[in-house]
Amino acid sequence: MRSLNEKCAVVGIFDHAEASKLAYFSLHALQHRGQEAAGISTSDGEKLYTIKDRGLVTQVFDNQKLTTLKGNMAIGHTRYSTAGDDSILDAQPVFARYDLGEMSIVHNGNLTNAKEVRDALIKKGAIFQTFMDTENLIHLIAKSDQHHLTDRIIDAVKKIEGAYSLVFLSRSKMFAMRDPHGFRPLSLGRVGDGYVVASETCAFDLIGAEYIRDVEPGELLIFEKGKAPKSIKVFEPTPKHCIFEYVYFARPDSNVYNQNVYEMRKAMGKALAQEQPIEADMVVPVPDGGVPAAIGYSQQSGIPFEMAIMRNHYIGRTFIEPTQEMRDLKVKMKLSPINDLIRGKRLIVIDDSIVRGTTSRQIVRMLKAAGAAEVHMRISSPPTTDPCYYGVDTPDKEKLIAANMTNAEICAFIEADSLGYLSNEALLQSVNGKEENYCTACFTGKYII
């Protein structure tokens, strides 16, 4: 079974007259977390309304569509995936009618026991319409012998394993749930007289919401009209936050796991300069992901920082494209060197990660073609040696360059003059963390589940 719920964004708006519009703007702020499809479900207390389609948030929705999404409650989703087909059925929210009424669900993460749960449900007569592991929850809730939706949600999540930040919408209530490890971020805020939950706090900034706190690992929040959110500790928290959120995924202006992403990335750059120094004329980031770390590297090393590579922001993230040919083409469309600045200079090029190595090789070739005397690649994370099963669509191990080549071989492959990575220990120190509190499986192969 394929998961289609990798690095996505979820949002929930409760008790606000402009719920659908706030969900729309929140998803717009979270567009970096998924560019393949978007959707919103709302409730007016009597009925749920859902619109979802392939494309960016601004392509899926317009003012006319938003006005048809009635009610003061809304949940939304942007989808990221490189697996599966383009079926609209695989977009979220997932909507269903069942014996208690109507319900929609949005999910960020990946259920590691999805196939086992799905097979068991099919044997009991369940009929699935999508490849999404999120659909398992619809069936688990519908088949539960509990009488109230809250109890059915608790019953359902006790049967699943893996990474999940979930937001549920019924006709009268909204629920937010995070797995006991807290793999994926989910924050709670106040907007007007109502509430908002979102994958990142940058969504709060856009809609004028006040951050309250993070939803705790293993916690279920219940939103009901006229009441403060009710908290139920479904599981004892055993935090294992995804450290790749700090490395790559989250927007720099977000606070993730109660820390500012920009500051964490700048700290990674400073640590990288200490661990991987080299004589050069300038520090150059690969935009946009490498910018904060490059600033930190420059500050620590004293080597001038220059934006010598310009990015065309109308081109999407290359990591999200499903074919290598498309990734190669988009690198050329996306990044342009400033030749006069680069010519004859020794460059330290900072990027956040190397996955397959092909993008890095194109960047090195581009800079040398522009006249760079030397190109020294520095990566503000450890080598990515293992695939992720908790919500990041990294390639299989045989396609991860660091799992199959030595550092010297990777350096030769990308045609750099030198290559240096940040150590796992320095990465953890940069985010003020301990190994027992973070999932670093993509760098260490130490899987939690």
Contact status, residue 296 vs residue 305, Cβ threshold 8 Å? no
CA gap 152, 148 in Å, rounded: 6
- DSSP of 352-413, one letter per residue? S--SSSHHHHHHHHHHHHTT-SEEEEEESS----S--SSS--PPPGGG-HHHHS-HHHHHHH
Contact status, residue 181 vs residue 439, Cβ threshold 8 Å? yes
Cα separations in angstroms, 57 against 19, 77, 98, 305 = 16, 9, 29, 34
**Tokens encoding 207:** 């809609």
Indicate if 388 belongs to the active site.
Answer: no
- Phi first, then psi: what are they for 276, rounded to 5°? -130, 65
The catalytic residue among 8, 242, 388, 442 is: 8
Strands 346-351 and 374-379: parallel
**Tokens encoding 438:** 């973070």
Q: What angle do CA 312, 318, 324 make, to 5 degrees?
A: 130
CA gap 422, 409 in Å, rounded: 17
Which residues does the annotation mark as catalytic?
Answer: 8
